[in-house]
Amino acid sequence: MRSSPVISRSLLFVLMAIVLLTLGACASVDKTATTDPVVVGDVHGDDRAQDDRYPGVETTPLGRDGRLTADALSDPSSPLSQRVIYFEFDRDDVRADYVDVVAAHGAYLARNAQTRIRLEGHTDERGTREYNLGLGERRAQSVRRMLMLQGASSDQIQVISYGEEMPAAMGSNEQAWQQNRRVELIYEGHRR
């Protein structure tokens, strides 16, 4: 199969993005691991736990993978820190302003084959509950497809739809509806 020059260019771009993201992720791991293995308070990985022997002190294990840890995901300047993708009314395509975010997550998953993610699809309250269950799934599936385009594998990704049953915001107005039309990306073993 021949790919057009345009596609080749985007592939190149994506590959560069993956390399850069991976380097960035590694750098942040190294910093944490070498300079201060016992961290107090300011690291927000999910695996932190209160140490019974030293009250007020938290230890941050590096995680199963050993190379990339929660830190890459919790770097607030990384697109990976964005874990909620919002949608337009009755639409299931990922908005242009979220394409880079989803691509970053796809690249991260591709480089971390042990990492698993759950995509929770949600809708606003308008329309029937059962139809919205289908729409929530369709939104999560379109995020899933984009993740897989970046090299994430299907067995890393679990898709669940909650339809309109788990609103992020209460209320029957556009402001609440906007916050409820979403897909939440939840990394296994990491805090939301």
Partner 1 sequence: MIQIRHVILLLLLCLPLAGQAALEIRITQGVEGALPIAIVPFGWQGEAQVPEDLAAIIGANLHRSGRFAPVERQAMPQRPTRADELDFPAWRGQGSNYVVIGRLQPTGADRFSVQFQLFDVAGGRQLTGYSIPVERADLRRAAHMISDIVYERLTGERGAFDTRVAYVSVTGQGSERRFALQVADADGHHPRTIFRSAQPIMSPAWGPDGRRIAYVSFENGRSEVFVQNVDGGDRTRLAAFEGINSAPAWSPDGRRLALTLSRDGAPDIYVMNLSDRSVTRVTQSRSIDTEPVWMPDGRSLIFTSDRAGQPQLYEVAVTGGQPRRLSFEGRYNGGASISPDGRRVAMVHGVGGGFRIALLDRQTRQFRVLTDGRADEAPSFAPNGSMIIYATSERGRGILAAVSVDGRVHQRLVLQEGEVREPAWSPFRD
Using CB under 8 A, list all residues that contact partner 1: 125-131, 133-135, 137-138, 159-163, 165-166, 170-172
Phi, psi (rounded to 5 degrees) for 87:
-125, 160
Question: What sign results for the dihedral spanned by CA atoms 165, 84, 59, 113?
Answer: positive
Question: Closest approach of Cβ 143 to partner 1, in Å?
Answer: 15
Q: From the CB of 187, what's the least distance to partner 1, in Å?
A: 16
Q: How far is the CB of 74 from partner 1 (least distance, A)?
A: 22
Q: How far is the CB of 191 from partner 1 (least distance, A)?
A: 15
* 117-122, strands of its sheet edge to edge: 84-86, 182-187, 117-122, 157-163
CA dist., res. 110 & res. 148, Å (int): 8
Q: How many CA atoms lie within 13 A of 76 on its CB side?
A: 3
How far is it, in rounded angstroms, from Cα 163 to Cα 168?
A: 12
